[in-house]
Amino acid sequence: MRRIYTIPLPGRAPLELGARTLVMGILNVTPDSFADGGQYADAAAAIEAGMRMAADGADIIDVGGESTRPGSDALPEDEELRRVIPVVEALAARVPVPLSIDTYKARVAREAVAAGAAIVNDVSGLQYEPALGDVAASTGAALVLMHTRGRSDDMYGRAVYTDVVAEVCAELQEASRRAEASGVRRDAIILDPGIGFAKRAEHSFEVLARLEAFAALDRPILAGPSRKSYLKAAIGDVPPDEREWATAAAVTASVLGGAHIVRVHGVRAMMDVVRVADAVLRSR
């Protein structure tokens, strides 16, 4: 069974992790996300989608303004703020669940937390902007550190491993040390092995198959297997919006492997998947 963790959050009750798997809904406020690009680029549509996720049972809503799909270009800071801050402000006032800001930029994180976000989700593990650690420390926001190598335009070129799980564990441990050196409390850190980031399909499947190994890091684990291209190695070349059944299988594997949080696009469908996977886990 999973270890139990209590994650302090600014301005609200702590996040209790481990008794059941929490579902983080992905809210991409972008025109070019790989899975749902353009659906929620308009602030009003994004706010409505976030409210719908909360009604469908999401435990956390993760708002992102910059696509980090392989090959994507970096977004100017001002444009990212323009996209996400109105959505965070509106949802903070309308939904009871904590909000996460999916960004690697320190200024975006600071303004999003001021607008109501309680979690910062950094895909770079503090590699792109180390000052983001200072923001998490000073605001008291929880910090998700994801594993990757390089930037979006060269991450696959760096997907060379001898033992992918051992190396990802070691690099996540380094990310955690960077965060703690910035003043982030250890009990505020959540780790994400970065399925699909700087990993070939075989690497991502091995991370899923051996997810239990990450318990050795003694921090809660977030898994983000939803709709990503590694799934094509198993199901063929189908578009992202037709990968929900494949995502359901990967979410089940994540739960049985000990993930505390799963990050998904289709909240309503994945809530049922998580409930059944949790029931199996409890029956071990």
Residues known to be catalytic: 228, 263
Helices (H), 62-192: 77-94, 106-115, 131-139, 164-181
Cβ atoms < 10 Å from Cβ of 14: 14
Q: For 132, how many CA atoms within 13 A lie in the half-sphere containing its CB? A: 28
What tokens appear for 93 in the block? 């006032």
Do the beta carbons of residue 199 and residue 230 sit within 8 Å?
yes
| DSSP notation for 25-63 | EEEE--S--TTTTTTT-SHHHHHHHHHHHHHTT-SEEEE
The CB-side HSE value for 189 (13 A sphere, CA atoms) comes to: 25
Quickly count: other Cβ atoms within 10 Å of residue 209's Cβ: 12
Residue 119: φ, ψ to 5°: -135, 140
Contact 113, 138 (CB under 8 A): no
Q: Whole-angstrom Cα distance, residue 66 to residue 103?
A: 7
Sign of CA dihedral 23, 29, 33, 39: positive
Under a CB-based contact definition with an 8 Å cutoff, are residues 28 and 40 in contact?
Answer: yes
